[in-house]
């Protein structure tokens, strides 16, 4: 499944992007998405405990 991810504020600065699309297998969780994002954008690792996720927005 394709997931649209939007970055705001400092996260946008860290990734250098306002938005990205990630592809995950069906049945994946938010934790799976976050792991994939951290692998793609290692800079986000420092913000792992400050990350908020909104679904369906």
Q: Which helix or strand (DSSP H or E) is residue 19 part of?
A: strand 19-23
Structure-model confidence comparison of residues 1 and 52, the more confident one: 1
pTM: 0.84
Which CATH homologous superfamily contains domain 2-50? Beta-grasp domain (3.10.20.30)
Return d(Cα 44, Cα 1) in angstroms, integer. Answer: 22
Tell me the per-residue pLDDT of 2-43, one tens digit each, with 9 for 90 and over.
999 999 999 999 999 999 999 999 999 999 999 999 999 999
pLDDT of residue 48: 83
């Amino acid at each position: 499944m394709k997931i649209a991810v939007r970055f705001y504020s400092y996260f946008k600065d860290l990734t250098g992007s306002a938005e990205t699309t990630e592809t995950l297998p069906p049945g994946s969780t938010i934790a799976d998405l976050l792991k994939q994002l951290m692998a793609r954008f290692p800079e986000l690792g420092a913000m792992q405990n400050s990350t908020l996720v909104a679904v369906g927005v």
